[in-house]
């Protein structure tokens, strides 16, 4: 008989100790599964595996539209390990001039070959209300300050580990303004 069904029946019969005995194999199996799943995390902490290295390749402005301003976020991923890693997706948040303007995630799977590298492109879209609030900064400054933060989600090989990343810098709005001028003509 199924351990869970047996435990339910014993619980209804007001026999909690018997229920616990019936559920013990299920609990041990669950504990074993959790322990095995965390082995990759232990490998990282012991230095046997390293998380992928994430660097910001580019944050570029696109041609504005009536709905908003497209951006492109390019992340360079490098696998320092002698085994292939699978990235199950990533999340991100972008701040311009200390204002959170974009949040999102991708569930796209990326395979990082052993000792290899790849580039991930995240198309972003800055909606019109966020642009209107930033227009004074865009028009008066040569450079806009940005921050990008997020994390890569890895497979169960690494215990479902999230590898965080954070970058900051400045971006010139001039390219985007040149596109905007062309759009307004």
177 pLDDT band (50/70/90 cuts)?
low
Per residue in 90-127, pLDDT (tens digit) is 999 998 888 888 898 988 899 999 999 999 988 888 88
More confident site: 74 or 128: 74
Domains and CATH numbers, the chain: 3-37 (no CATH), 48-184 (2.60.40.10)
Token pair for 8: 């339910």
CA 144 to chain centre: 24
Please report which confidence band the pLDDT of residue 77 belongs to, taking 50, 70 and 90 as the band edges: very high
pLDDT at res. 38? 39
Average pLDDT, the chain: 74
């Amino acid at each position: 008989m199924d351990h869970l069904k047996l435990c339910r029946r014993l619980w209804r019969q007001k026999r909690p100790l018997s229920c616990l005995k019936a559920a013990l194999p299920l609990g041990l199996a669950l504990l074993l599964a959790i322990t095995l799943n965390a082995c990759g995390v232990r490998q990282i902490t012991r230095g046997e595996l390293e998380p992928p290295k994430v660097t910001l390749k580019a944050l570029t402005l696109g041609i504005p539209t009536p709905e908003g301003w497209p951006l492109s976020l390019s992340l360079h991923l490098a696998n320092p390990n002698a085994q292939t890693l699978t990235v199950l997706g990533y999340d991100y948040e972008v701040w311009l001039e200390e204002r959170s303007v974009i949040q999102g995630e991708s569930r796209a799977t990326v395979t990082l070959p052993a000792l290899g590298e790849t580039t991930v492109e995240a198309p972003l879209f800055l909606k019109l209300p966020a642009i209107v609030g930033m227009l004074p900064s865009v028009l008066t400054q040569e450079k806009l300050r940005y921050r990008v933060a997020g994390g890569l989600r890895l497979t169960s090989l690494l215990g479902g580990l999230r590898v965080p990343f954070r970058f900051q810098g400045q971006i010139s709005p001039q390219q985007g303004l040149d596109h905007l001028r062309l759009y307004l003509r």
